[in-house]
Amino acid sequence: MSGLHGLATHALRLADPEDAHGLAITGLKLGLGPRRPAHDPVLATTLAGLALPNAVGLAPGFDKNAEVGDAMLAAGFGWVECGTVTPLPQAGNPRPRLFRLTEDRAVINRMGFNNQGLEAFAGRLAARRRRGVLGANIGANKDAADRIADYVTGLKRLWGLCDYFTLNISSPNTPGLRALQTRAALDELLGRVGEARRALAAEGANTPVFLKVAPDLEDGEAEAITEAAIAHGLDAIIVSNTTLARPDSLRSARRGEAGGLSGAPLMAPSTRVLATFHQAAAGRIALVGVGGIASGADAYAKIRAGAAAVQLYSALVFEGPGLVADIRRDLAARLKADGFRTLAEAVGAR
């Protein structure tokens, strides 16, 4: 990363994590973010019909309110996912709720879907100039009487304003949300979302819909989720969200905080879960690899485990947005060194 952005990242690491994030968003809105190098053609790919100039994406959580999606595309991400957004604004859980585990290169968060709501989110998407692929990660309000209805509301309100949707049913910080991953609940959710999607698509172009899952799954759940996603016509599964597990290897004094763990300790377990989904999918649905990516080697491991594209976020807490250029450069070099002409050729090539 450049010296200026490296200094800024170091300064932000000294601040409270949530305050630092707010300052980073402000800086990006002021145009102070890094600028991408030219895209290497070997990293270009197609995900669920979406043409990505490079497969390295920004995971949701960084830009909850769709404020800096274009700035992060300009920083070098091939695609950006904003959110999670809920129909009504909500404050989320009490602070402190975001913790750096510096010794572990990890983060624990219990944010609780804090966001400004659909109307603010939709207004910002409507005002942008559509310079790149931007997705909307949609969720349910904590106190919603019908959580599935919240997903349908999000789909309808943002239809035509984003390039794809992600149904987030895997955050550990909204009580009971992960229960939507059970087959019966998932069938109801995907059935109702699918009905709304078909009605919206009948009036014009269709929009891909993805499903984001947790890494904390029991035996057989990956297979059941995969079959449900395929049966209901989803376009991709994102593997995975944060974990409730606390590996014995954690050293930070903050390791006992409640919430979802992300960052380096999630890399190996989430990649194993990704490989399970890859085996279950057998090429019938695209997969996105998320969890612990902090280098080109990490991104390459996800792709070889079955990911058609990848996303990252937590590593930016420690390295800043300039990290994406380093990951792209390293990933491209690894693909070429192994004789792959395109990234797609490497998917699942473990």
Among residues 171, 240, 270, 314, which one is catalytic?
A: 171
Residue 252 appears among annotated catalytic residues: no
Who's near 125: CB < 8 A, 6+ residues apart? 66, 134, 136, 158, 161, 162
Peptide bond before 84: cis, by omega within 30 degrees of 0?
yes
CA 114 → CA 25, 58, 122, 144, 314, distances in Å?
Answer: 15, 18, 16, 14, 17
The CB density around residue 345, as the number of other CB atoms within 10 Å, is 15
Helix, strand, coil shares of the chain, percent, nearest 5, are: 40, 15, 40
Single-letter amino acid code for the residue at 303: I
CA–CA dist 66, 121 (Å, integer): 6
d(CA 56, CA 44): 9
Dihedral, CA of residue 250, residue 251, residue 256 and residue 260, to nearest 10:
-40
Residues 6+ away with beta carbon under 8 Å from 162: 82, 125, 134, 135, 136, 207
Q: In sequence order, what E strands does 141-181 have? A: 164-168
Cα separations (Å) of 59 from 82, 94, 146, 241, 289? Answer: 8, 23, 26, 10, 10
- For tokens 């594209």, the residue is 309
Backbone φ, ψ for residue 99 (5° rounding): -135, 130
Q: Which helix (H) or strand (E) holds 277?
A: helix 267-281
Comparing C-alpha atoms, which of 203, 191, 211, 164 is closest to residue 48? 164
The three-point CA angle 83-118-77 to 5° equals 30
Distance CA 255, CA 248 (A): 10
The set of catalytic residues is: 171
